[in-house]
Amino acid sequence: MLPNQRFHPISDDFRSPYARDRDRIIHSGSFRRLEYKTQVFLNSQGDFFRTRLTHSIEVSQIARSIASHLGLEESLAESIALSHDLGHTPFGHIGGDTLDECLKERGFVSGFEHNFQSFRVVTKLEQRYKAFLGLNLTYATLEGIIKHSYPYNKTFLPNAIREVFALDTHPSIEAMVVDRADEIAYISHDIDDGVASGLITFETLKSSELIQTILQKVYAEGIHEDEDEMFRYRFSSHLINHLVYSLLEYSHDKVDNSRVLASAIPATEEIPIGFEPELETQIKKLKKILFQELYQHKQIMRKMFSGKQAIIGLFNALMEEPKMLPHYYLEQCERRNKHRIISDYIASMSDRYAMKLYNELYGREG
């Protein structure tokens, strides 16, 4: 199947196939719901923290810039970026991990995985057309979603997926660009949000060589930490620029040599998009600092624990009494496995709605 083909043929219009994908994603209900889903800080904690929606937009902007400079298909990178988080549950990664545990504890070995859920959202759960389920996106966009993060060949994936998408090869170069753009975006905005919230300081982050390099760039502009908002903005700008330019410099020749046959590159071979080894090491060290000092901060852990209990409570309650499901989901229980219907419903919820329903079902105050 050609990258720009769809499983259900449609007539051409003024847009490119991938621009059409992008527009279908943006107008989907699942994309709009990302506004109220947690990135790191729960949505209720303030109006300025990133959500899944703002994160997806930031990833898209970075991916477009990289793709444009490398002569790649910008709209394809944009489509993959905007859709890569559609399958995330409320309450961030802890929500997905908890839903996975709930399913497996009940004997459903395939569990829950957010990349596959994103794929299911755009191929099955979004219903915008009478003739078929899903958004009918191009093969290349779907491949970029299902292969968003390595390794691609996860054991729970259905055989039909394995037959259609070559899981032993890398996806398009554009998909690889999105993967690294995702990394650049969340590192920069998690630092910004972490410092803004007071949960981490630049002083703590100075143990990272990468952070020291970026701070020197900000200081060179005559800006210091006491100019809080401006300092954080300039820091984020320099960090993103540094990582993007480093990626372009390291990847440019590799992409020129391989992008035509990108989807035929065996998964065992080196990905042609990345950073030079020293910077890769610096990034890994920075991630470790963020994990220890920010993601495991007691305030974050308390909120995540609260979200985890909500997911467990909702899953158990709806499995016990599925008649509490909305009519649309209840109807499907007659045709499909109840556990998957319930997990789809919970995964679609915003943080606020999930907590509200949990409190309602268990007689707790919001």
Would you list the domain boundaries of the chain? Answer: 17-299
pLDDT at 333 over 50: yes
What tokens does 225 get?
Answer: 């930490």
Closest CA to 73 of 6, 141, 147: 141
Q: Is 190:89 a contact under the CB 8 Å cutoff?
A: no
Mean pLDDT of 317-340: 91
The average confidence (pLDDT) of the chain is 91
Give residue-wise pLDDT tens across range 197-242: 899 999 999 999 999 999 999 999 999 888 888 999 999 999 999 9
pTM of the model: 0.93
Listed in sequence order, the residues at least 6 apart from 182 whose beta carbon sits closer than 8 Å to its beta carbon are 59, 81, 84, 148
Q: How far apart are the first and last CA of the chain?
A: 50
Q: For residue 247, what pLDDT band results from cuts at 50, 70 and 90? A: very high
Residue 134: what are its φ and ψ, rounded to 5°?
Answer: 80, -170
Q: What is the pLDDT of residue 263?
A: 57
Q: What is the pLDDT of residue 126?
A: 93
pLDDT at 259 over 80: no
Residue 340 CA: distances (Å) to CA of 37, 83, 104, 125, 310: 20, 21, 12, 12, 18
**CA gap 113, 326 in Å, rounded:** 23
Of all residues in the chain, the percent with pLDDT exceeding 90 is: 70
The residue written with tokens 């090869």 in the block is 169
Q: For residue 268, what pLDDT band results from cuts at 50, 70 and 90? A: confident
Mean pLDDT of 286-300: 94
pLDDT at 47 over 50: no
Q: For residue 366, what pLDDT band results from cuts at 50, 70 and 90? A: low
Listed in sequence order, the residues at least 6 apart from 282 whose beta carbon sits closer than 8 Å to its beta carbon are 208, 209, 210
Q: How many CA atoms lie within 13 A of 195 on its CB side?
A: 22
CATH 1.20.1530.20 fits 17-299, yes or no: no
Q: What is the pLDDT of residue 48?
A: 45
